[in-house]
């Protein structure tokens, strides 16, 4: 997916989820390092990242579906017309 879609999806996360994702995937920190920076437990970091990825996945699917239906729907109808 385009990075613009990902940036848009990240905006829908809470600041704590954003921080966890940013530290994990942009700074390539492990769970212990993130826990130290965020002053939470390793378990809390794992939960934050799990929840954030779940929310991102859902949001990206919504964005992709919305993009497809708003911009590509007429094309899809035209293609399916002859089937």
Q: Is the pTM of this model over 0.85?
A: no
How far CA 45 is from CA of 17, 60, 78, in Å, comes to 9, 22, 47
Q: Classify residue 48 by burial, with Cβ atoms within 10 Å: 0-12, 13-18, 19+.
A: buried
Q: What is the extent of the structural domain holding 70?
A: 3-81
Count of domains for the chain: 1
Residue 20 has pLDDT above 90, yes or no: yes
Query: The domain that contains 58 carries what CATH number?
Result: 1.10.10.10
How does pLDDT run across 38-58, given as a tens digit for each residue?
Answer: 999 999 999 999 999 999 888
């Amino acid at each position: 997916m385009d990075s613009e879609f990902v940036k848009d999806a990240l905006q829908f996360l809470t600041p704590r989820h954003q921080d966890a994702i940013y530290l994990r995937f942009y700074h390539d920190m492990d769970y212990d390092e993130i826990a130290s920076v965020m002053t939470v437990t390793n378990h809390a970091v794992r939960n934050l990242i799990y929840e954030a990825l779940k929310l991102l996945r859902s949001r990206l699917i919504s964005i992709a579906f919305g993009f497809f239906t708003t911009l590509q729907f007429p094309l899809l109808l035209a293609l399916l017309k002859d089937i």
